[in-house]
């Protein structure tokens, strides 16, 4: 049996289908709306920075909250807020009141909700899935993410945007509404954490505990710092991706959604292959290969001269990145106790994703002179870090396997 609670996982998985579909609509519509409002690289990069800024500001306290609340209500509330925000944005577009600064505000608030939703979902999975089956469960969640966000949502978002600018945001709102209702229907017993590791310490002590735990577990801290550096490089490189594709590589903006669909198809193949790759060559080697190849492709995407050549390293990255995401998440879920997961997850996300707003802003500044340069610098640094960390990543991935035995 794969799950400790079949019904709990099914409800979580189905809710994720609708949130991923809604996110896919926004993934195409938000950048298209942004370049409709401005073509300034710095202003565009601020959107990416604001999307990640909540991880820097709120991930640690949100992690502490998640460990001590009804996760069903937490997920339902965040999806309800996202529904409301999307509806307001659609109204602003319809009444022709939307500006780039409204888009900034929406991006930031939705980002806060994303911190809550991600932390809650990730802390639920090890509670309802058996340890030996985490790769399969995470692979299924990753495939759901890919199919409904990139393969279905993204192109539909582009088509709806072509019909009416507000249309994808209205559909986005409906998706989050359905997800909120599904979250409320999840069975309650699996949403309450055990407290055997700690006393009831209080909010501030919870936050301190999460920080101390990470910094006193050197192996965990090191992989978080590696991931932080490579995440910084990716955010730095891709901060103005939509402008790079449209202006330097001559991509028709109307075909942006189809590019995301192509990318999503390859990601789906990678998500399907990840558990099998780990079984075939070992989790450690699969992790090391995934992050090294993905880092090299960041550099390669900055070297191409047209959109067709861009598709090659983009496809390679799309195949190997889900290997990294799935196997690393499974490793974290093995290393971190369930009842502490929200706090530790929040702390590590603060480091990993909290640096991305800074990277995105710096990449946007650099892109004002040349849209290609951030890709070259970010890709080079990521490649050096991944190769330097090769042996450690292999050992970490392999050592996590022993926790199942």
Q: What is the pLDDT of residues 131-151, one digit of tens each?
A: 777 777 777 887 787 788 877
Can you tell me the distance from the alpha carbon of 20 to that of 7, in angstroms, rounded to the nearest whole number?
Answer: 20
φ, ψ of residue 82 to 5 degrees: the values are -65, -35
Sign of the C-alpha dihedral computed for residues 355, 356, 360 and 361 taken in this order: negative
Domain 8-192+201-404 CATH assignment equals 1.20.1250.20: yes
Q: Which residues of the chain have pLDDT under 50?
A: 1-3, 190-200, 405
Burial of 308 (0-12, 13-18, 19+ CB in 10 A): exposed
pLDDT at 226: 95
Model pLDDT, residue 134: 75
Burial 60-69 (b: 16+ CB within 10 A, else e): bbbbbbbbbb
List of residues 6+ apart from 208 with CB closer than 8 A: none
Find all residues with CB under 8 Å of 266, minimum gap 6, and list them: 315, 318, 319
Please state the pTM of the whole predicted model: 0.74
* pLDDT recorded at residue 401: 60
What pLDDT score does 186 carry? Answer: 80
Rounded to whole angstroms, how far apart are CA atoms 269 and 398? Answer: 23
Please tell me the predicted confidence (pLDDT) of residue 8: 77
Q: Tokens 């249309």 — which residue? A: 167
Query: Within 13 A of 389's CA, how many CA atoms are on the CB side?
Result: 27
In this structure, the number of other CB atoms found within 10 A of the CB of residue 303 comes to 13
DSSP character string of 128-165 = HB-GGGHHHHHHHHHHHHIIIIIIIIHHHHHHHHHH-T
pLDDT digits (tens, 9 = 90+) for 180-204: 999 888 875 544 444 444 444 566 7
pLDDT score for 198 = 44
**What pLDDT, on a 0 to 100 scale, did the predictor assign at position 402?**
54
In this prediction, residue 199 carries a pLDDT of 44
User: Domain ranges in the chain?
Assistant: 8-192+201-404
Question: Could you tell me if 394 and 288 are in contact, meaning their C-beta atoms sit under 8 angstroms apart?
Answer: yes
């Amino acid at each position: 049996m794969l799950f400790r609670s079949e019904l709990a996982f099914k409800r979580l998985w189905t809710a994720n289908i609708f949130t991923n579909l809604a996110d896919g609509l926004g993934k195409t519509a938000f950048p298209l709306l942004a370049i409709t409002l401005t073509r300034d690289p710095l202003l565009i990069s601020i959107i990416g920075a604001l999307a990640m800024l909540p991880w820097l500001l709120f991930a640690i306290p949100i992690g502490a909250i998640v460990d001590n609340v009804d996760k069903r209500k937490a997920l339902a509330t965040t999806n309800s807020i996202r529904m409301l925000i999307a509806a307001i944005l659609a109204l602003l577009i319809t009444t022709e009141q939307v500006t780039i600064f409204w888009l900034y505000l929406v991006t930031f608030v939705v980002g806060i909700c994303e911190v809550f939703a991600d932390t809650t979902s990730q802390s639920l999975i090890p509670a309802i899935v058996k340890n030996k089956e985490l790769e399969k469960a995470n692979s299924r969640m990753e495939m759901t993410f890919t199919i409904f966000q990139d393969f279905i949502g993204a192109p539909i978002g582009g088509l709806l945007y072509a019909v009416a600018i507000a249309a994808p945001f209205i559909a986005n709102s409906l998706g989050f509404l359905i997800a909120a209702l599904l979250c409320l229907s999840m069975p309650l017993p699996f949403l309450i954490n055990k407290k055997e590791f700690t006393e009831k310490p209080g909010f501030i002590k919870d936050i301190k505990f999460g920080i101390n735990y990470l910094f006193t577990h050197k192996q965990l801290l090191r992989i978080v710092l590696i991931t932080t550096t490579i995440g910084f490089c990716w955010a730095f490189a891709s901060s103005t991706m939509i402008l790079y594709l449209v202006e330097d590589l001559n991509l028709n903006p109307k075909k942006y959604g189809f590019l995301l669909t192509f990318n999503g198809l390859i990601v789906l193949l990678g998500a399907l292959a990840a558990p099998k790759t780990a079984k075939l060559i070992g989790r450690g080697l699969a992790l090391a290969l995934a992050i090294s190849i993905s880092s090299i492709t960041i550099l390669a995407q900055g070297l191409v001269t047209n959109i067709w050549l861009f598709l090659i390293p983009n496809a390679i990255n799309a195949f190997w990145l889900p290997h990294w995401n799935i196997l690393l998440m499974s490793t974290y879920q093995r290393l971190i106790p369930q009842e502490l997961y929200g706090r530790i997850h929040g702390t590590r996300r603060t480091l990993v994703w909290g640096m991305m707003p800074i990277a995105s802003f710096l990449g946007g500044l650099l892109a004002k002179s040349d849209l290609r340069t951030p890709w070259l610098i970010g890709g080079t640094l990521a490649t050096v870090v991944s190769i330097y960390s090769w042996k450690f990543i292999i050992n970490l991935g392999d050592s996590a396997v022993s926790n199942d035995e």
